[in-house]
Amino acid sequence: MSTDAPHEVRPAADTAAGRAPRKADDAGQPAHKGGLRRKGLSERNRPLWMLIPGGALMIIIIVVPLLLGIYMSVLNLDQYTLRKWISAPLIGAENFVEAVTDSPLLHAVWLSVSYSLLAMVVTLPLGIAAAVATQNAFKGRAVIRSVFLIPYVLPSFVVATVWRTMLQPGGIVDEALATVGIHVGLWLNGPQTFWTLVLVQIWASWPFIYLLALSGLQSVDHEVHEASALDGALWWNKLRYVIFPYLKGPLSLAFLIGMLHHINNFTLPFVLFGVPAPADVEVLPILTYVTSFQSFRFGLSAAMAFISLVLIAIPLFVYLRAVKLDDAETPGAKK
């Protein structure tokens, strides 16, 4: 948005790669210095009315349901009051109190966050390694790159169904492990389910990191490689101090989107474990679903959803401020 705060934190590589950001600065500067006359088209007469269709859609699709959800959360809305839901009894904060004190909500939040973080911590190096490995041209690279994307393009439902079949007691995974003398026990019930969920999530989501890392790598200017080669940087130093700073932007974005996606992932645990889910994988979306559509406590479940929204929004906000993803000037995100 603003064009005047790009210079505070500049990774070392930026001085080498500074040309492109400069250009952006040049384009931006007249707006500041040129006064009203030259601001003209770009700011004063911006045709904001053109945002109306999009804005209206945003209101209908996002704002209205959100407000309704919040309204529902203060109603005693269940199967008995659903039909005339507008006149369902108003019970204030009762749903919130029940959600926090008398439901597995906090446990679910803990499960969701820890599982998402674990999956993320493993997929990050995996994705980066895969991106780096396929950066330089070699024979068959196109094929490998396409193969890497398979888990990403498969629908979640298919991924979960296939894994569920493989992980059944006496299924193909158990048999394969048994041939080397490992007996793991149940994958789809009991305490191990948590790790099953993490495992399948890793399998399904590392290509996303890979994709964004790859896009980051491709934005590294050719001169940067040349310059670091001239300076005699070996591969690790080059990777660590020259290339990785370029990846910071895309990978921060990947981390953020990935975390949100994992926390909100309903299909994977639902298809893998079914409902009622084993207590160790009763993650947020499953809990909200069961409360809404098995117990018919729509009000309570709206309260749960709202609490989890707030819980997610706080770190999200802090994080967004910290990494300034909205700043077009960070390296890697610049183009």
Partner 1 sequence: MRFKSTTGLAAIVTAAALALTGCGSGSGNGGGSTSSDGKVDGTGKTLNVLVGVLSQYPEQQKQWQSDIAAKFKAETGADVKFETFASANDELTRIQTSVVSGQGPDVYGLGTTFTPTAYATKAFVTLSDDDWKKVGGKDRFNPAALGISGPDKDHQAGIPFVSRPFVMAYNKDLLAAAGIDKPATSWDELAAQAKKMTNGDTYGIATGYKDNFDPWKFIWAMSVQAGNPLVDGNKLKMDDPTVKKAYQTYFGWLTNDKVVDPAAVGWSNSNAVAAFASGKAGYLMMTTSSSIPTLDKSAIAGKYEYTLMPTIAPGETKSKSDGDAASILSGDNLVVADYSKQKDLAFAYIKLITSKEEQLNYQKTFGDLPANGDALKELAGNAKLKPITDAAAKSKATPFTGAWGDIQLGLLNVTVQSVPDLAAGKVDEAALDSRIKDAQNKGQASLDRASKG
Q: Kindly list the residues in this chain that would bind partner 1 in the complex (CB under 8 A).
A: 61-62, 64-66, 68-70, 72, 78-83, 85, 168-171, 185-186, 188-191, 257, 260-261, 263-264, 266, 274-279, 284-285, 288-290, 292-296, 298, 301-302, 305-306, 308-309, 312-313
Query: Is the peptide bond preceding residue 47 cis, with omega within 30 degrees of 0?
Result: no
Nearer to partner 1, 117 or 309 (CB): 309
> Residue 98 carries which side chain, given as an amino acid letter?
E
Judged on CB neighbours under 10 Å (0-12, 13-18, 19+), 73 is buried
Which of 128, 312 has the CB closer to partner 1? 312
Q: How far is CA 84 from CA 88, 91, 156, 311, in A?
A: 7, 16, 36, 31
Kindly state the helix (H) or strand (E) to which residue 208 belongs, with its residue range: helix 193-218
Q: Which is nearer to partner 1, 246 or 273 (CB)?
A: 273
Alpha-carbon distance of 40 to 63, in angstroms, equals: 32
- Write the DSSP string, 64-79: HHHHHHHHHTTB--ST
When the beta carbons of 301 and 330 are compared against partner 1, the nearer one is: 301
71 or 241: whose CB is closer to partner 1?
A: 71
d(CA 26, CA 39): 14
Least distance (Å) between residue 316 CB and partner 1 = 10
Q: Please, which residue, 68 or 93, has the CB nearer to partner 1?
A: 68
Q: What is the end-to-end Cα distance of the chain in Å, rounded? A: 14
Name the minimum Å distance from CB 285 to partner 1. Answer: 6
Q: Which is nearer to partner 1, 142 or 162 (CB)?
A: 162
Closest separation in Å from C-beta 186 to partner 1:
5
Helices 156-167 + 172-179 axis angle, to 10: 50
DSSP code per residue over 203-256: HHHHHHHHHHHHHHHHTS-HHHHHHHHHTT--HHHIIIIIIHHHHHHHHHHHHH
CB of 221 to partner 1, least distance (A): 31
Write down the least CB distance from residue 41 to partner 1, Å: 33
Nearest to 202 by CA among 119, 265, 126: 119
Q: What is the smallest separation between the CB atom of 159 and partner 1, expressed in angstroms? A: 15
> C-beta of 308: minimal distance to partner 1 in Å?
5
Amino acid identity for residue 223 in this structure: E
Report, in Å, the least distance between residue 328 CB and partner 1: 21
DSSP assignment, residue 330? S
Q: For the CA atoms of 262, 267, 272, 278, what is the dihedral angle to 10 degrees? A: 70
118 vs 286, beta carbon nearer partner 1? 286
